[in-house]
Amino acid sequence: MNETIKRLYVTGYQSYELGIFNEKDPRVQVIKNVLKRELTALIENGLEWVMISGNLGTEAWTGQVINELKVDYPELRLAIIFPFENFGSNWKEQNRLILSELVQRADFVESVSHQPYQNPGQFKNHVSFLLEHTDAALVVYDTEYPGKSKFFLGDVEKYQLKNSYDLLTITMDDLENSSELGDSV
């Protein structure tokens, strides 16, 4: 593990992959509590920037947690790095509102591609950018419950062959244990 993680990319399950279709679902708070605990430990060890891509679920919840943590850690910064222009513009209104609120409160917002979606290569370039501009990734993911993040994890493994890059995970067991303990961070 790198001595200090200053720039962290956080990703993981999208809300639909967890069967969560309402922000009031009690599982959202469990996930946020675990994210808050993990992020707080990293902040206290020198974390300065958290990057997300703006996906619903883990990334949006991370953005919300970062904004809560800024009360105690005002130096903490949130960057939203979209894969392409107009990301999320075709989402349902409620989901666009969640993204819009994150964008308004982020410290930095940019797209890797300055074109609307054109091809899967934009996602590949996006992942390359994130890996090159962060020290580590925190992924809410469990290999027993596959999801879209398995592709990102494969890219991380290839990147780690030639680069120093930390991969931190929050598994279903971590979430379950937190839920059973009634964690409230």
State the pTM of this model. Answer: 0.94
What is the average pLDDT score of the chain? 94
CA 23 – CA 57 distance, rounded (Å):
9
Tokens 């996602």 correspond to: 123
DSSP 3: S
| Three-state SS at 33 | helix
pLDDT digit string, tens, across residues 73-92: 999 999 999 999 999 999 99
